[in-house]
Amino acid sequence: MKKTASIELTNVAVEFPVFNAASMSLKNRVLSAVTGGAIDRQHDGSVIVRGLQNINLKIAAGERVGLVGHNGSGKTTLLRVLSGIYHPTQGQAIIQGECVSLINISLGIDPEATGRENIRLRSAMMGLTPIQTNERIEEIIDFSGLGDFIDMPFRTYSSGMQLRLAFAVSTAIRPQILVMDEWLSTGDEDFKERAEQRMKDVVHGTEILILASHSREILQANCNRLVWLEHGRVRMDGEVTEVANNYFPTNT
């Protein structure tokens, strides 16, 4: 029996070292050791960017958390902390449960390989075992609606078809924690409807949803909690309409 998913961030801060070409290279380290003295610190040029500061978040199973914030407010960084990619430089992040992020749904796809091979690649990348993939592969092919094209190289697909395949595989999983940067929607009208339905199924199937989005509609339709990030801090955290009313300009 799996433990129920939960996320707990206490006093989390994330600091990025930004190495410009100068500090990235060993040459400068060696040279500065040779030249020595006070200059090297200025010449070293490593800058620390505070991506996140003082984040306290407790997310329990059943919560659908929306993330809002302007560009550069730390949404992506927080998504990466929540999916266990960045370990906080300060504070603690306890993440219970397997987590899949649908940030770039084409990750791992090889254009030269056939659609079928790509399904296997992509699902392996998302953490499915070959047995699990075999159980789902027919359903995925069916959903993608690619028919006989499934055994053709991926590069021969139109961009719409490529997206459909990526979408079909990426949404075939039911992780405990699902992290998304923007809602996935794709394809022509007919596919869009089915895709929408499938996204709903995925979202309902997970215990915790974390969704960063700029769309009020989508956030209101799918979330029951909204976190507003500003300059790497939580500006507001609460019920969807309340936060949305404050974050989104009133005329929309």
Binding region for other proteins (CB under 8 A): 16-17, 19, 24-27, 29, 80, 83-87, 89, 99-101, 103-104, 107-108, 110, 112-113, 117, 120-121, 124-127, 129-130, 153
Q: Which of 103, 218 has the CB closer to other proteins?
A: 103
Q: Which of 26, 38 has the CB closer to other proteins?
A: 26
Between the CA atoms of 162, 64, 214 and 58, what dihedral angle is there, to the nearest 10 degrees?
A: -120
Q: Which of 80, 164 has the CB closer to other proteins?
A: 80
Q: Which of 25, 35 has the CB closer to other proteins?
A: 25
Q: How far is the CB of 117 from other proteins (least distance, A)?
A: 8
Judge contact between 71 and 217, C-beta under 8 A: no
Q: How far is the CB of 138 from other proteins (least distance, A)?
A: 19
**Sheet strand arrangement including 99-102:** 99-102, 177-181, 208-212, 64-68, 225-230, 233-238
Q: How far is the CB of 40 from other proteins (least distance, A)?
A: 16
Q: Which of 3, 27 has the CB closer to other proteins?
A: 27
Q: How far is the CB of 227 from other proteins (least distance, A)?
A: 21
Judge contact between 184 and 105, C-beta under 8 A: yes
DSSP H or E segment with residue 77: helix 75-82
Q: How many CB atoms lie within 10 A of CB 34?
A: 8
Q: How far is the CB of 244 from other proteins (least distance, A)?
A: 28
Distance CA 233, CA 90 (A): 14
Q: Which of 110, 139 has the CB closer to other proteins?
A: 110
Q: Which of 100, 244 has the CB closer to other proteins?
A: 100
Q: In terms of C-beta density within 10 A (0-12 exposed, 13-18 middle, 19 or more buried), how is residue 197 classed?
A: exposed
Judge contact between 65 and 78, C-beta under 8 A: no
Strands (DSSP E) found in the chain: 6-18, 47-60, 64-68, 90-96, 99-102, 177-181, 208-212, 225-230, 233-238
Q: How far is the CB of 16 from other proteins (least distance, A)?
A: 6
Judge contact between 97 and 63, C-beta under 8 A: no
Q: In terms of C-beta density within 10 A (0-12 exposed, 13-18 middle, 19 or more buried), how is residue 244 classed?
A: buried
Q: How far is the CB of 147 from other proteins (least distance, A)?
A: 22
